Amino acid sequence: MNTSQTAQLFKALSDENRLRVLSIIAKEEQCACVLLEQLEITQPTLSHHMKILEEADVVSTRREGKWAYYTLKAETIKAASDALSSLGDGAPESSSSCCCGSKGEELTDEQQDLLAQVKERYVRAAKMVTGAQAASCCGPQKSGTASCCGPQGGGAVTAFAASDSLGASLYQHESSEEIKALPEDALLASLGCGNPTAVADLREGETVLDLGSGGGIDVLLSAVRVGDSGFAYGLDMTDEMLTLARKNAKEAGAKNVEFLKGRIEEVPLPDKSIDIVISNCVINLSVDKPAVFKEMARVLKDGGRIGVSDVVATNGLTKEERAAKGDYTGCIAGALSFEEYEARLSAAGFSDIEITTTHEVVDGMFASIIKAHKNAA
């Protein structure tokens, strides 16, 4: 096994669900039906994970009737172990190829630091909602309590809360019945700058993906609108938000939803499996925005669309000027300009791009609705 194959294998093993698959099939062949039941995931999600394991030559597949049956290829695991052992001897096998592409590129130290800050901010928010951590001035607040948050001295935004510009109050125009049907914690955990479900024009039977789904409010609203024949996925990188979202889905009685763990730069879903991608003030937090737009295009069906809420900067504002108006985790410093947003969506294969401002968050920075369609192949 050369270094390229070893890298592909360990990338395949980097997901918790795929490791659980291997533990289930380690002793004997297993039906996909068994994996679906034990992992509690949907068929498209299982198919995505099994495709990655098959490409890494970790599992073999046979079909019987309507089901696939999977067997662990122990020889691949042994070959990888032998290859790693050879590194200790100072004689790794060289290879000029790379299996991972842009998804496998390592983050810079600055990007790693920003990612850690974003994770910490949203873990703290989830704990505040669930009561695992005491609420601060700028934390989510239970109904009947006051919040002093919002833009702070000097016009800089340092954190989110349910204020006029950011957070749960932006859902006030939703159908009162829809909001009443949601667990309070789903609304409290909203740290966004808009309400993408209000403008996404969701249709019966569609499959929706929410990038950075947090406490699950947009997933739950989407699930209602696409009906029993549709499906809504939420993607989040923090265990705390995923636990909160799954709790909220259970309380809401939502059956046509699934919350996945992962980064929005590497979506764990198959190509062309989604009708519409939504997101609420999360893309600006990404440390690799071109990768996010490419992933959106990959998972969307031809002609699929996006309905995104995000903070967008006035054209001409420098990186330093944006940072002076607010920090990265406050969705300010990492915001793209109007020109940058349109150019990067176009480069990723989108057309009919519309960016409409809804309100000013800080001077020169606007909460906006971004719509676009994926170009047909």
pLDDT of the chain, 377 residues: tens digit per residue: 666 777 777 777 777 788 889 889 988 999 999 999 898 888 888 888 888 899 888 899 999 999 999 999 888 777 766 766 665 554 434 333 333 333 446 767 666 766 566 556 545 554 554 554 433 333 343 343 333 333 333 344 333 333 444 444 445 544 456 656 665 655 554 555 666 777 778 999 999 999 999 888 889 999 999 998 999 999 998 888 898 899 989 998 988 999 999 999 999 898 999 999 999 889 988 889 999 999 999 999 999 999 999 999 999 999 899 888 886 667 788 899 999 999 999 999 999 999 999 888 889 999 999 999 999 87
Dist. CA 332–CA 341, nearest whole Å: 14
CA distances from 349 to 30, 290, 372 (A): 39, 11, 10
- The residues, any chain, with a CB within 8 Å of residue 359's CB and separated by 6 or more, are 165, 366, 367
Dist. CA 347–CA 62, nearest whole Å: 39
Beta strands in the chain (DSSP E): 30-31, 59-64, 67-72, 207-211, 231-236, 257-261, 274-280, 300-313, 336-337, 350-362, 365-374
Domains within the chain, CATH numbers bracketed: 3-99 (1.10.10.10), 121-374 (3.40.50.150)
Given a contact cutoff of 8 angstroms between Cβ atoms, the answer to whether 188 and 140 are in contact is yes
Q: Say whether 371 sits in a helix, a strand or coil.
A: strand
- Strand 67-72 vs strand 30-31: parallel, antiparallel, or unpaired? antiparallel
CA distances from 150 to 126, 127, 163, 327 (A): 19, 20, 6, 13
Amino acid at 360: E
Q: Say whether 296 sits in a helix, a strand or coil.
A: helix
In this structure, what token pair is assigned to residue 372? 């676009």
Q: Which of 289, 295, 307, 275 is nearest to 349 (CA)?
A: 295
